[in-house]
């Protein structure tokens, strides 16, 4: 059975978005012509298409200076090093305050978006959608579904920091725990405040609801395609919780859990 509804997966990297994307890929969704190869951090694959990543990287390139201006520059300054994800493919770690509304008027970007949206039914996954969704949304059909995946903030932050220590393309990026929490907070604040409000097509899913399969019947009904739990591998759950969680992050996590009925 072919999926009936197009969808986008968003949420912070290292939150289980790949696990859900793999489940939907198995169900027959088109995700791109050439997906990223599996790595040790995602041994079953990322289910991201470089073309989608690069469109979003281009959109976000205009916002790097804004993320480091004024008060934020002081926040992200430590020992002579500024947090600045300017390297290739690093912008999934951008930290944009919710008051920054992302837009793009570049005709080539619009052309590229229309081209990748032409093959249906599609499911595209990219953490950068957490910021760039307004640019894409005007080209999507009204019934497109947006699935936000999240997990405990300390687990996500620990996984982000590990990814930054071990992946070569992130080697030039200075990041610490405080900065990683800022990334997490800004991503999900954007989703809740700028994207999901007054939207019936937004679905929130906790990592554990995908991992144990409890979210799959609901998603299957919504997307019009049978979803199987067998993609999920018990060995995928490897990052341990740990470290003090800032009060703002805990409050935001509690809001996400309420949206997900978790």
Q: How confident is the model at residue 65 (pLDDT cuts 50, 70, 90)?
A: low
The pLDDT of residue 22? 95
Q: How far is CA 15 from the centre of its chain?
A: 8
From 26-30, 53-57, 67-71, 170-174, the region with the lowest mean pLDDT: 67-71
Boundaries of domain holding 213 = 7-259
pTM for the model: 0.91
Question: Is residue 95 in a domain?
Answer: yes
In a domain, 78, yes or no: yes
The pLDDT, as a whole number, for residue 217 is 96
Query: Is residue 227 within 8 Å of 219, Cβ to Cβ?
Result: yes
84 is written with which tokens? 């600045």
Contact in structure between 205 and 15 (CB atoms under 8 Å): no
Domain count, the chain: 1
Neighbours of 172 (CB within 10 A): 12
Omega cis (within 30) before 96: no
Residue 75 has what pLDDT?
45
Greater confidence, 257 or 96?
257
The end-to-end CA distance of the chain, in Å, is 29
**Mean confidence (pLDDT) of the chain:** 89
Q: What is the pLDDT of residues 70-92, one digit of tens each?
A: 444 444 444 445 567 878 899 99
Q: Is residue 187 part of a domain?
A: yes
The answer to whether residue 85 sits within a structural domain is: yes
Q: How many CA atoms lie within 13 A of 27 on its CB side?
A: 28
Of 33-37, 133-137, 257-261, the one with minimum mean pLDDT is 33-37
- Residue at token pair 């997900």: 260
Whether the CA torsion 7, 193, 107, 66 is positive or negative: it is negative
Interval 130-150 mean pLDDT: 97
- pLDDT tens track for 106-130: 999 999 999 999 999 999 999 999 9
Q: What is the mean pLDDT of residues 5-26?
A: 96
3-state secondary structure of 53: helix
CATH number, domain at 252?
3.40.50
2 lies in a domain? no
Task: Average the pLDDT over 94-98 and give the result.
Answer: 90
Distance from C-alpha of 26 to C-alpha of 208, rounded to nearest angstrom: 19
Q: Is residue 1 assigned to a domain?
A: no
């Amino acid at each position: 059975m072919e999926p009936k509804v197009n969808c986008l997966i968003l949420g912070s990297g290292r939150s289980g978005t790949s696990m859900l994307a793999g489940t939907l890929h198995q169900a027959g969704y088109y995700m791109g012509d050439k997906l990223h190869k599996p790595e040790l951090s995602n041994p079953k694959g990322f289910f991201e298409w470089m073309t989608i990543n690069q469109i979003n990287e281009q959109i976000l390139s205009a916002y790097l200076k804004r993320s480091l201006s004024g008060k934020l520059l002081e926040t992200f300054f430590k020992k002579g090093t500024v947090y600045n994800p300017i390297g290739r493919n690093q912008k999934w770690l951008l930290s944009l305050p919710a008051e920054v509304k992302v837009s793009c008027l570049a005709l080539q970007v619009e052309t590229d978006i229309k081209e990748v949206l032409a093959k249906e039914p599609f499911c595209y996954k990219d953490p950068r959608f957490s910021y760039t969704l307004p640019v894409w949304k005007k080209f999507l059909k009204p019934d497109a579904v947006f699935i936000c995946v999240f997990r405990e903030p300390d687990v996500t932050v620990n996984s982000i920091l590990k990814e930054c220590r071990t992946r070569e393309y992130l080697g030039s990026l200075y990041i610490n725990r405080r900065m990683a929490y800022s990334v997490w907070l800004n991503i999900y604040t954007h989703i809740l405040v700028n994207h999901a409000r007054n939207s019936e097509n937004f679905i929130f899913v906790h990592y554990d609801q995908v991992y144990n399969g409890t979210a799959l019947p609901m998603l299957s009904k919504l997307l019009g395609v049978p979803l199987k739990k067998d993609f999920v591998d018990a060995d995928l759950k490897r990052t341990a919780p740990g470290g003090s969680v800032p009060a703002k992050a805990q409050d935001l996590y509690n809001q996400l859990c309420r949206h997900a009925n978790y």
